[in-house]
């Protein structure tokens, strides 16, 4: 049986399914009673919150990286939201997930604005370094 130690996990870069580097694995969480690994904590960098990833979302403890089997929705927060022409609409403030899918996103026009809009997941075309909206998307003002 091939085994690894915590040294083979801690300090490694965490990659999601798109190959994006999420951060560095800094903590390993172990269930005290069952003595099993429950997940890892990823340090996303300066001024960014740490991310806990459950063991079910870890695809592999690789040689130089820890590979996940999903794209964490939390990383979408703060991304630019662009319309179909590529013009900036706003910034992602919050991501609402239902049944493991993005149900909608809450977008603020500026980083300090209190005016927020709700855009449903159906109006999202692509999510990569920015969130691209589909043509004719509808943005509902959040009360």
Partner 1 sequence: MRTKKVEDTKKIFSKSHTLLNTFDLRDFKGKKVLAKNGLKVGKVSDFVIDKSYNIVSLKVRNWFRTFYVDTLFIDSLSNKVVKLNIIPVVTNIGKKVFDVEGRYVGKVVGLVKTNDKNEFKGLIVKKRFFFRGKTINKSDIKTNDKNIILKIEHVN
- Quick check: 11 binds partner 1 (CB under 8 A)? no
The residue from 1, 3, 19, 35 that contacts partner 1 (CB under 8 A) is 19
Neighbours of 99 (CB within 10 A): 5
Looking at beta carbons only, is 31 or 78 nearer to partner 1? 78
Q: Cβ atoms within 10 A of the Cβ of 113, count?
A: 13
Q: Which of 1, 47, 63, 112 binds partner 1 (CB under 8 A)?
A: 63
- Counting contacts by CB under 8 A, is residue 136 touching partner 1? no
Q: Could you say which of 17, 26, 69, 110 contacts partner 1 (CB under 8 A)?
A: 17
DSSP 25-44: EEEEEE-TTT--EEEEEEE-
Contact flag: residue 58 with partner 1 (CB under 8 A): no
Task: Rank residues 26 and 31 by Cβ distance to partner 1 and give the closer one.
Answer: 26
62 binds partner 1 (CB under 8 A): yes
């Amino acid at each position: 049986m091939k085994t690894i130690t915590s040294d083979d996990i801690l300090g490694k870069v965490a990659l999601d399914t798109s190959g994006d580097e999420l951060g560095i694995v800094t903590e390993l969480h172990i269930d005290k009673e069952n003595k099993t690994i429950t997940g890892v904590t990823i340090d996303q960098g300066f001024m960014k919150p740490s991310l806990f990833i459950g063991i079910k979302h870890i695809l592999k403890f690789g040689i130089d990286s820890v590979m996940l089997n999903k794209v964490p929705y939390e990383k979408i927060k703060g991304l630019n939201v662009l319309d179909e022409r590529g013009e900036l609409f706003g910034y992602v403030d919050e991501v609402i997930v239902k049944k493991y899918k993005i149900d909608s996103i809450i977008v603020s026009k500026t980083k300090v604005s209190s005016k927020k809009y709700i855009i449903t997941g159906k109006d999202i075309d692509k999510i990569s370094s920015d969130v691209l909206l589909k043509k004719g998307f509808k943005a509902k003002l959040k009360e």
